[in-house]
Amino acid sequence: MCTRIFYETGTSTYITGRSMDWRDVTMQSDLWVFPRGMARNGGVGEGSATWTSQYGSVIVAIYNLATSDGMNEAGLAGNMLYLVESSYGDPAARAKPLISVGAWLQYMLDNFATVAEAAEVMADDP
Prediction pTM value: 0.88
17 belongs to the catalytic site: no
Name the catalytic one among 2, 58, 71, 118.
2
Largest CA distance in the chain: 46
> What does the pLDDT read at residue 75?
95
Torsion over CA: 49, 52, 53, 54 (sign): negative
The pLDDT value recorded for residue 1 is: 66
CA distances from 117 to 24, 77, 124 (A): 34, 13, 11
- Cα 5 from Cα 10, distance rounded (Å): 16
Distance CA 120, CA 42 (A): 20
User: Pick the residue with more confidence: 91 or 122?
Assistant: 122
CB–CB of 60/69 below 8 Å? Answer: yes
